[in-house]
Amino acid sequence: MAKRVLLIEDEPNIIEAVRFILSRDGWSVDTHADGATALSAVARRVPDVIVLDAMLPGRSGFEILRDLRGDSKTADIPVLMLTARGQQKDRDMAARNGANRFMTKPFSNAEMLACVQELYAATQSPGA
């Protein structure tokens, strides 16, 4: 069974870059571009890892993250918060809301792949 990542992102160039990077490594990559319906996309797809943009149409990634962490069905899914805004306040807000990792755009292909692999591996270790 393929490892599944859900990319919640509204920028087409980022979507294609992340899809390419991860699918080349054997990941099944689903995408969703609307913040307002992101939670239902997570429930439908039940990913192993979520890559979540902070700024989305309809609803912010920070609000989505807070709701994911508040629901027992999604609370343990690793989340990589992805944003063009890398100020300390954004990092703090991501950490407060339960992000496992935080990455700013632009990112390197190797950095994206390594981060998603690490988040997945942490869920596979005994006791996770």
Cβ-based neighbours of 92, under 8 Å, separated by 6 or more = none
**Rounded to whole angstroms, how far apart are CA atoms 50 and 29?**
10
Domain containing residue 115: CATH number: 3.40.50.2300
Q: What is the C-alpha to C-alpha distance for residues 28 and 99, in angstroms, rounded to an integer?
A: 21
* Cα-Cα-Cα-Cα dihedral sign, residues 27, 94, 10, 108: negative
Checking if the pLDDT of 85 tops 90, the result is no
Q: What is the pTM of this model?
A: 0.95
Weakest mean pLDDT among 31-40, 57-66, 81-90, 99-108: 81-90
Report if residue 128 sits inside a domain: no
Domain assignment present for 19: yes
Is pLDDT above 80 for 128?
no
For residue 51, the model assigns a pLDDT of 98
Structural domain includes residue 126: no
Number of domains in the chain: 1
Domain assignment of residue 127, yes or no: no
